[in-house]
Amino acid sequence: MIEFQHVSKRFGPWVAVDDLSLTVGPGEFCVLVGTSGSGKSTTLRMVNRLIEPSAGSIRVAGIPVDRRRPEDLRRHIGYAIQSVGLFPHWTVERNIATVPELLGWPRGRIRDRVTELLDLLRLDPDQVRHKFPHQLSGGQQQRVGVARALAADPAVLLMDEPFGALDPLTRAALQDELARIHHQTGKTILFVTHDMDEALKLGSRIAVMDHGRLLQAGTPRAILTCPANDFVRDFVGSDELGLKLLSIETAETRVRRGEGCDGEPVAASTPLHRALSLMIARGVDRLGVVDPAGVPLGALHLADFALARQ
């Protein structure tokens, strides 16, 4: 869906992005992760031509981006940024309607779409619709920011540290929302962050960058278990490797099906590191697991955590 071919970007003598090649497939959630100055934001901003590459080519849906008028390209790619960038003088409704209005949608369709998106982001349309951004909390503002990026139903979504300025609780809640929305809508998402845990939690693929170079791109498991070099190993944080490996798997993958278990069960989608934490806190070595409908699936055993996945 998004293809980078030998893309470089130089600002004067400074090389921000150095010969980067990366393909993000349709429906993939690709997270660009790296320290500040690693070139990850520059890479993202070249996709919708906020920055023009010095060399190489970028395609979105098979079409080279420089073949399209920048405004036209941008209206068909969702865009969300860290400080949200909501227009303070416009209501929530008008903010979300920005791109549909630029595309000339009829009024009724825009109204319905705003309602639909507020529902999707779990904001009460009747309450929030006519409020101004400063009347919302930081988390609500970022929800509106995400809704605005989704407004015209773009196939591709660019997100530049969208949750960077939020407190940890709000942040975790929004990460869950975004994972759910990605699951529901099947959008292709290119997401920039400097937080490895966020990358592991959200990404179906992680691309680690440093000094403008792409060091490694792969599944969270591959990044954790086979780091390409010392930088990736350090960045991932080798001391808690085991817990991080658990964090990218859910209870469903290790459940012994059909087994009964007492005590309050956990959801099948619970990450394993949380399940482990819960066992230690409760002082038990088994947990019941239920599916989303609440039907018991089986039991999770402490002994199975250390085993490699079949």
Interface residues with other proteins (CB under 8 A)?
48, 50, 70-76, 79, 81-89, 98-99, 102, 132, 134, 148, 158
Could you tell me the smallest distance in angstroms from the CB atom of residue 84 to other proteins?
Answer: 7
State both tokens at 278.
Answer: 């819960």
What minimum distance in Å lies between the beta carbon of 241 and other proteins? 36
Nearer to other proteins among residue 96 and residue 297 (C-beta): 96
Query: In Å, what is the CA distance from 86 to each residue of 72, 111, 134, 152, 247?
Result: 21, 18, 10, 16, 33
Contact 154, 72 (CB under 8 A): no
Q: Count of CB atoms within 10 A of residue 306's CB?
A: 8
Nearer to other proteins, 138 or 218 (CB): 138
Q: How far, rounded to the nearest angstrom, does the alpha carbon of residue 262 sit from its chain's CA centroid?
A: 35
Smaller CB separation from other proteins, 50 or 179: 50
Of 51 and 278, the one with the shorter C-beta distance to other proteins is: 51
Please report how close the Cβ of residue 76 comes to other proteins at its closest, in angstroms: 8
Minimal distance in Å, beta carbon 150 to other proteins?
12
Pick the closer one to other proteins by CB: 171 or 201: 171
Task: Name the residue nearer to other proteins (CB basis): 133 or 298.
Answer: 133
Q: Which is nearer to other proteins, 143 or 201 (CB)?
A: 143
| In the complex, minimum distance from the CB of residue 140 to other proteins, in angstroms, rounded to a whole number | 16
State in angstroms the smallest separation of the CB of 88 from other proteins. 6
Least Å distance, CB 250 to other proteins, is 34
CA distance 86 to 93: 11
